[in-house]
Structure 1
Amino acid sequence: MPDLRAFWGKAGKSNTPHPLLCHALDTAAVAELLYPLMLGPRCREELEAAFKGLGDPVAWVAVLCGLHDLGKCSPAFQGLRADLALDLLGDHAAEDIRRLSRFKDVGRTDTPHGLLTAVHMDRLLKRWGASWEAAHAIAWVLGGHHGTIPYDDEVREARAAVGHHGGQKWADWCDALVDELCRLRGLPNPASLPWNEVRLGLVGSIGLAGLTSVSDWIASARCEDKYAGAGVDLESYAAETKKVAQDAVDRREWSPWKPPADTRFQTLFPDVEPRPVQVAVEKVTSGKSRPGLLIVEAPTGEGKTKVALQAAATFVRQLGLAGFYFGLPTRATANQIFTESAEFLAGQPDPLRVRLLHGAADEYLVGQEPKAEEERRKKDLQPCNVDSDGEGDGDAAAREWFTLKRALLASVGVGTWDQALMAAIRAPHVFVRMAALSNKVVILDEVHAYDRYMSTLLDRLLWWLGRFEVPVILLSATLPEHRRSKLVQCWRAGALRLRPEQVSTPLTAPGYPRVTWADREGDEVTLVEELVEVGVSELNANRVVRLIRLGDDDVVSWVLEQIDAGGCAAIIHNLKSRVHETYEKLEKAVEQLPEDERPELIWITGEMETADRQKVEKRLREAFGKNGTRPKRAVVVGTQVLEQSLDLDFDVMVSDLAPVDSMVQRMGRLHRHRKREETPVLAITGVGEKAAGPTFPPYTLSVYLRSTLTRTWALLRERSEIRSPDEVAELVDAVYDPKDLIVCPEGWEEAWQDNEDRRNLALEGMEYKARIVYLPQPSDDQSLRRLTERSKGARHTRSRSGKR
């Protein structure tokens, strides 16, 4: 038997190795600390139920995480640094290692250590008495710690590769390593314990998989010049690992959020007079002891963001969670809510740092606080030598989770929808995403704007979040009745371990605005649902927006006429090319005006360079945001970013025809922060009409489905006004309800039916594409391998067309 310190676990370019046993101790210590921070109540409940017969279940979970690299005790892995291994292991292993020496410029000839971990853990667990199911689940989870759960065939082939794993001799050495790890961690010999009682469920397995990977990454942040070396005193090292692990975890600033005992709205926002929807949500969520799904539908300006923060504080406090993830439709909205969330948490008794998560987050943060962000970056975790045999994602990808993706692991994060939807896609490390969400409240805003592709992913995500019993808050301007029912059914199906079609249809919603709450009662298949019709604030009460129709050639002159005596106008186009075209026309027209009558002109699209867009957004907030200093005259021309991304207020608006829910959302930017005496006007452009039906500007149908625009125009073409909130739900249901609630205008019949047929095909195509990439249904009898098989990459969160 060689000295157990002789097996190297990490080496890199250093001639001082970090023993495999030391890395196992590092990882176990980190896992024990992360366990209550990262894993949600349902994950912990399943893991503790699985391992309680062994003694301290958390200690055993930590040791299993530490055993993720057991396959490195093999000729295949040790031979990667044959110089070290031959020197440390000597004659014991020389022949085995030399036989597997690599050759340059050839494909890999060894077996990855993750597969060998699965081989050894499966063998050990069965020897200890574990059932086939328990041994398979644990061994395959640990073997997949580099992101992909192995196939059964892969493990069988690895088992047959005796020269790679070393046969019985190396198996005995693996067993000795395991026994020594248990001893150093203060646990009894595993062979003496009732492993036959271990039953690991789906949620517990995914929690163990996520915890293992993240613990490995943090434990791998040890610098090469601090590797312990083969002469390390194991007793002293084991005693020090808890302190070292605590320091590493503390650097992440992952402390759980601790809201005050009183999470009533006025306590959290003492300077804000509660609006009706805020009062209703506080009443619905108060005293809830079980997770559930909360859907809030209300017009813009009713304070849905504060509603979400107050409800999240209540759930975190009452359910013992770590924090929340707030998902927004765009980077701009994410930046805005990031700032609002940061200010909210800074005012709490226990302030907590908020993390921002999207593709340009670093650029935004550097632009906001360059010095502070530079200091934070210095603290970023740098895992190294994570993947010495090229099996998985490598050091760069591991580091990504502590830089670009850190907001998902941190207690409180704000980012785009995509980061949450990625948890519903088969991809490497999807179990890390799911585990990271398991201890949070998941908040998703503007869910009415999801196309069929994203809606299909959202449904699957809700099914899984229900299975994990994660509370979810969905915010929307309004939702069609059938869509709201589907969302409720999917979350419930997960909580009840059923299929969505097996779940009872939710109650028919009353008027609008409304709040929907759904959960399950205890362990019984008893569903609790509340539907509350709420009022609106004075700002949105009896709100009337006058509609007029405007030709494209008249937009510029009409807008300048409207603000001639003073005022601020917005022009929203569906295409960036139309934005630039209108802006150029405005510039030419404004040049003809006297200098003191010229309005300020601003344009914005989603494709602007990050730095330029930040400057424009800042100017827009200063001029048209809440409490902004409004210019005497101004015209803002932009794409849908003005609809979704910025909390702005205008006197008059021109909008291209868009789906009815988008039109309602755009209307919300009129007289948003203060009510005026005059009736706001929305001029609809970007639509023509022939005897056979409406026509739209070129390329518009690359953004929206013709059928959706046609149905919307059929509904609005003869209207002179829209009353909000009274008519909003009726209008949205009319356009999107599968039942035909709109009368086809005379002469449009042929085109109408053709549009409907094309729409159905397009929606079926988007749904099919989502089904190709999304996770299988949450089921206890499925193989974990299905979570990562045929991985499509986690970035497939939006369809290319995004049409609605």
Structure 2
Amino acid sequence: MRETVFGWPGKSPAEPGGLCHPAACHMLDVAAVAEALLARGTDPLPRRALSALLIALHDLGKIGARFRGMIELRADQGPRRHWEVTEAWLRSEVIEDLLCDRLGGSCHALRPLVGAIAGHHGRPPTAGPGDWDRMIAAAGPEAARDARAFVEICLDLWPEASLAGLESSTAARISWGLSGLAVVADWVGSNTAWFPASPAPASAETYLAQARGRVPRALAAAGLVAPEAAGGPLFDFVLRPMQAAAARIPLREGPMLAFIEDETGAGKTEAALILAQRMLTAGKARGLFFALPTMATADAMFARARQVVRRLFTAPPSLTLAHGRAGLSAEFRDVRAQGTASDDAICGDWIGDNRRRALLADVGIGTVDQALLAVLPTKFATLRGWGLSSKLLIVDEVHELNEPYLAQELAQLLRLHAMQGGSAIMLTATLPLAQRAALTRAFEEGAGRAFVEDAGADYPSLSVPGAGAERQLPQETSSKGPVAVQRLETAQQAADLIAEASGQGAACLWVRNAVDDAIGAVAALRAAGVRADLLHARYALCDRKRIEAAMLRSFGKDGQGRQGPDGRGRVLVATQVVEASLDLDFDVMVSDLAPVAALIQRAGRLWRHMDRRPVGTRPVPAPVLHVLSPDPGLVADDRWLQGTQERGAWVYPLADQWRTADELFRRGQIVAPSGLRALIEAVHGPDPVAVPPSLQRAEEDQHGQGYAAAGLGRQNVIKIDLGYREGGGGSDDREYPTRLGRPTRTLLLVRRGGVDSCQLRPWAEVDSCQLSPAEAQMLSEVSASAARLARLPLPDQTAPEIAAFTQGWPGWRRATLTVCPVDADGSICEGLRYDAELGLLV
């Protein structure tokens, strides 16, 4: 009977008439890969053997007449796929009883694990008993005989495998990691360059030995062989207080969560890397994943981390950038171009060509969205979770994830990460204490520990919460001293102040809350004779990158263009994009009123690099944050803010803005870092000052929206305790957003020209760059409010020139992009223009 097991085909021949790889051989290939990956963990041998055994059965559904007909005769496989037939076989009474009897455990513990390995194509199986019966009948009696025989073979190959003592609730939690491991092992084991087609072997034992021999080369080629952690010094400068604290704080046993809370520019990233190195050498992780709030911050972090991550390991680690536009990063393309023959960080094709696999690299840097997708019921979510489980998860700017929907996702991510044995570091300048407690609670629940309230409110602080919590309090007064806060009543006052300061040679920044308000401010300044640049999010990506690079050259840490040829200070008007993504330094700052956390972040760009530009070299005597705001003591109605801001009045919750104005203007200064905790809690703490009666309705609406968003977050995240089969899903990423917000529409800007004057080409001029046509198109995209664009007569997408440009596009791309030819004068349609220096003008 066992001789016929290897007669069932598993993979089509690479060439017509070529050798067909047996399904049983493929399953053993994948099991051998899983064994090697499991060997890195701390599970006992019976549990590791159980996982390898079950993964060896992941494609048992290929043993069947329908799958054979598809491979050999190109016949229709039918309504159910082979991976669903796998579950049918393993849930059949004969095979389930065999497994439970030989493994010494309960079928209730086995079933979640069966659903996990059957769902190795990215989604859990959903068929029921009636479907299973029909699938088994369609497979045929020969398949029934050989499916059972292969199960017996695998039980003999892994005799140590055991279900003993495994509760169904524990199995449900284990199923998430097992599913992710099955996906990775299947992807590696399916690569014909590493596991070529084989004739039927003499025995399963012989073939498994051959497969095990191929695994080291396969894992090395895939970039899945993590180098050992190195313990040498990471930096050659004198450590700042927070960095020194990271070098000495005791580490906790088991999964560990740490919070690094300090003002902007205090060196939190370097502190995180110092702590991460200690955690790596202590065996708490084998790699890192930096989760950033935006693609721009991820790109900036990639450029910084690339210089130091090599020192974390004894050999070159794999390093990747994980977000939808990673291919547009010059730094990432440079790493990819080096291949694997480099003494620096490397990125091979297998990991670099797939954004989901990016989370498998030794060091991943990307948007937090890539990590949050691990806790949404999306396709291959378990792959992301498994990839992260061996990483130290470092979430930067964690305060930006305090919005109710995002907060639910992040809490669930920390719960899952701790449950799978992972550790994490949270970096923040302005995290409210209540949110810190919520994240700690979620992590401790995932680790199976009781939550212990940590009431410490010191700031700055490096803390490891939990039983026997450790806390380091690095105290250092900011070298720039207190930042005075002064209120401006009108936009004209702001423009006059900037004009005067610029005339004195000061580099000036005006942060506006809305793009249209920023464009209007630049127009007003230029009309007054002030040379002002503009930066916001409504540019084609190529123009935004160009402007960001120019701003860094002018206002960055080593900026040399802070003054123009006439000696006047240069001026930048920007939106929130400067809060976190760019390391800029200004002498004078004006900001629209915003919640206190945003204002603290913005003030971090004021007199930032005091080591490069000390007090005596600044054109103004002291740092002052000028805030464009109405008087918080004069609130006539809920239109209180609209007199000083136009569109920006609707960006942030009104109650938060009033409380910020009330607190800041009474204090008259921001004292960093020691005074930041009190400011944050005054606005976002549990007992804030009551808003004026005319603003109470707005606050109630804000609370209602927050409860609704949090409820949607709880509804959308995976249900960890139910296990992967019942609590996961296989939806497209777009069906479950990682963030809530007003809908946007993406425009693809194009020019007319080329060989045919009617031919369209991407707006981005990339002739000198080694970019593909698809990347050039990505550089030409710009997004704006879908509601505003819906009122405009956008170009007809069936027009001949646009139809020719989009020929060959898949349906989803046509549905998500609107191609917009831009005339020589910038016109797109009535009411819509594009200017390379001003952006999209609606």
Q: With structure 1 as the length reference, what TM-score do the two structures score? A: 0.81
2:101 counterpart of 1:111: no
Q: How does 1:236-315 map to 2 (within 5 A)?
A: 238-261=208-231, 267-270=233-236, 272-284=237-249, 286-315=250-279
User: 1:226, 1:790 → 2: CA distance?
Assistant: 30
Asked if 1 retains the 8 angstrom alpha-carbon contact of 2:295 and 2:367, the reply is yes
SS at match of 1:319: coil
SS in 2 for 1:68: coil
Deviation at 1:22, TM superposition (A): 2.2
Map 1:374-385; keep pairs closer than 5 Å.
Answer: 379-381=348-350
Matched, 1:649 2:585: yes
Offset of 1:316 from its aligned partner? 1.3
Residue 61 (structure 1) aligned to one of 51, 66, 83: 51
In 2, Cα distance between the equivalents of 1:160 and 1:83? 22
Partner of 1:6: 7
**TM-score, structure 2 length as denominator?**
0.78
Distance 2:356 2:199 in 1: 32
- Whether 2:714 is the aligned partner of 1:771: answer yes
| Alignment equivalent of 2:462, drawn from 510, 515, 521 | 515
1:724 to 664, 672, 675: 672
Asked whether the equivalents of residues 342 and 353 of structure 1 are also in contact (C-alpha less than 8 Å), the reply is no
CA offset digits 1:751-798 (Å, max 9, x no partner)? 22112211111111111221221122x43xx34323314857475111
Partner in structure 1 of residue 304 of structure 2: 340
Q: Determine helix, strand or coil for the equivalent of 1:340.
A: helix
Determine whether 1:29 maps to 2:32.
Answer: yes
**2:404 aligned residue (442, 452, 463):** 452
Among 361, 367, 384, the alignment partner of 1:410 is 361
Deviation at 1:156, TM superposition (A): 4.6
Task: Confirm whether residue 425 of structure 1 aligns to residue 361 of structure 2.
Answer: no
CA contact 2:321–2:358 (8 Å) conserved in 1: yes
2:147 is aligned to: 174
SS in 1 for 2:447: helix
Question: Counterpart in 1 of 2:71?
Answer: 81
Deviation string, structure 1 residues 525-558 (Cα, Å, up to 9, x no partner): xx22234433125526x43333231511333332
Tell me how far 1:304 sits from its aligned partner.
Answer: 0.3
Paired residue for 2:444? Answer: 492
Q: Distance in 2 between matches of 1:658 and 1:30?
A: 52
Q: Please give the per-residue CA displacement for 1:310-350, whole angstroms capped at 9, x wherever unaligned.
A: 11111111134211111111111111111211101234543
Q: Cα deviations across residues 613-637 of structure 1 (Å, max 9, x unaligned)?
A: 3332322333322233243221122
Task: Judge which range, 344-353 or 766-775, deviates more.
Answer: 344-353
CA distance in 2, matches of 1:36, 1:649: 49
| Equivalent in the alignment of 1:665 | 601
Separation of aligned partners in 2, 1:612 and 1:374: 29
Amino acid aligned to 1:313: Q
What residue ranges of structure 1 are gaps of 5+ in the alignment? 85-100, 103-107, 382-398, 520-526, 591-597
One-letter amino acid of the counterpart of residue 624, structure 2: V
Q: CA deviation at 1:373?
A: 6.8
Give the 3 Å change call, closer, same or farther, for CA 156–702 of structure 1 in structure 2: farther
Distance, in Å, in 2 between the alignment partners of 1:296 and 1:225 is: 45
Residues 241/516 of structure 1: CA separation in 2 closer, same or farther (3 Å cut): same
8 Å contact 1:775–1:786 — kept in the other structure? no
For residue 359 of structure 1, report the CA deviation from its aligned partner: 1.4
Q: What is the one-letter code of the residue matched to 1:126?
A: D
Give the aligned partner of residue 755 of structure 1.
698
Does 2:771 match 1:796?
Answer: no
Q: Does 1:703 align with 2:668?
A: no
Which blocks of at least 5 consecutive residues in structure 2 are unaligned?
Answer: 564-568, 744-842
Q: Work out the CA distance in 2 between the residues paired with 1:792 and 1:254.
A: 26
Structure 1 residues 467 and 368: alpha-carbon distance in aligned structure 2, compared to 1, 3 A threshold: closer
For 1:385, the equivalent position in structure 2 comes to none
Change (3 A) 1:738 1:60: closer
Q: How does 1:551-700 map to 2 (within 5 A)?
A: 551-590=490-529, 599=531, 601-632=532-563, 633-674=569-610, 675-677=614-616, 678-685=621-628, 691-692=636-637, 694-696=640-642, 697-700=645-648
Contact 1:145 1:213 (C-alpha < 8 Å) held by counterparts = yes
Aligned AA for 1:147? G
| Per-residue deviation, residues 36-65 of structure 1 (Å, max 9, x unmatched) | 56xxx5xx42xx3xx62xxxx545533432
Match of 1:217 in 2: 187
1:18 to 16, 21, 45: 21
In structure 2, the partner of 1:98 is none
The alignment of Structure 1 onto Structure 2 pairs a total of residues equal to 708
Query: Retained in 1: the 8 A contact 2:356–2:384?
Result: no
Aligned-partner residue type, residue 636 of structure 1:
L
Contact persistence 1:552–1:686 (CA under 8 A): no
Distance (Å, rounded) in 1 between the aligned partners of 2:56 and 2:359: 23
Q: 1:356 matched to which residue of 2?
A: 321
In 2: Cα distance, 1:74 partner to 1:681 partner: 75
Using the TM superposition, give the Cα deviation of residue 10 of structure 1 relative to its aligned residue in structure 2, in angstroms: 1.2
Counterpart Cα distance in 2 of 1:405 and 1:440: 15
Q: Indicate if the aligned counterparts of 2:318 and 2:348 stay in contact, CA closer than 8 A.
A: no
Equivalence map 1:524-539=2 (5 Å): 527-536=467-476, 538-539=478-479
Cα 1:161/1:63, change in 2 over 3 Å: closer
State the alpha-carbon separation in 2 of the partners of residues 738 and 653 from structure 1. 31
Q: How many Å apart are 1:308 and its aligned residue?
A: 0.9
Partners of 2:527 and 2:459 lie apart in 1 by 44
Distance of 2:387 and 2:715 partners within structure 1: 24
Instruction: State the alpha-carbon separation in 1 of the partners of residues 281 and 213 from structure 2.
Output: 28
One-letter amino acid of the structure 2 residue matched with residue 33 of structure 1: A
Q: 1:762 to 1:118 in 2, by over 3 A?
A: same
**1:372 correspondence with 2:317:** no
Contact conserved, 1:360 with 1:610, CA < 8 A, in 2? no
SS of aligned partner of 2:708: helix
Structure-2 change in CA distance of 1:578 and 1:122 (3 Å): same
Distance in 2 (alpha carbons) for counterparts of 1:403 and 1:517: 34
Name the SS of the counterpart of 2:622 in structure 1: coil
Counterpart AA for 2:183: S
CA contact (8 A) 1:294 1:472 kept: yes
1:474 aligns with 2:426: yes
Distance change >3 Å, CA 790–CA 258, structure 1 → 2: closer
Checking the alignment, whether the CA contact within 8 Å between 1:427 and 1:787 is kept in structure 2 is no
Aligned residue among 157, 171, 179 for 2:131: 157
1:7 maps to a residue whose letter is W
Distance 2:172 2:723 in 1: 9
| SS class of match (2:426) | strand
- Judged with a 3 Å threshold, the aligned counterparts in structure 2 of structure 1 residues 790 and 207 are, in CA distance, closer, same or farther, namely closer
Residue by residue, what CA displacement relative to the aligned partner does 1:418-464 show, whole Å, maximum 9, x if unpaired? 11222221222222222111111111111112211111211222222
Alignment of 1:395-406 (within 5 A): 402-406=353-357
SS in 2 for 1:753: helix
Q: Output the amino acid matched with 2:5.
A: L
Kept in 2: contact 1:418–1:797 (CA 8 A): yes
In structure 2, relative to structure 1, the CA distance for the partners of 1:224 and 1:302 (3 Å cut) is: closer
The 1-side partners of 2:318 and 2:597 are apart by 35
Post-superposition shift, 1:584?
Answer: 2.8
| Paired letter, 2:535 | I
Query: Could you report, residue by residue, the CA deviation over 1:571-596 in whole angstroms, capped at 9, with x for unpaired residues?
Result: 21111222222223333333xxxxxx
Match of 1:435 among 382, 386, 392: 386
Which stretch of structure 1 is more off in the superposition, 753-762 or 685-694?
A: 685-694
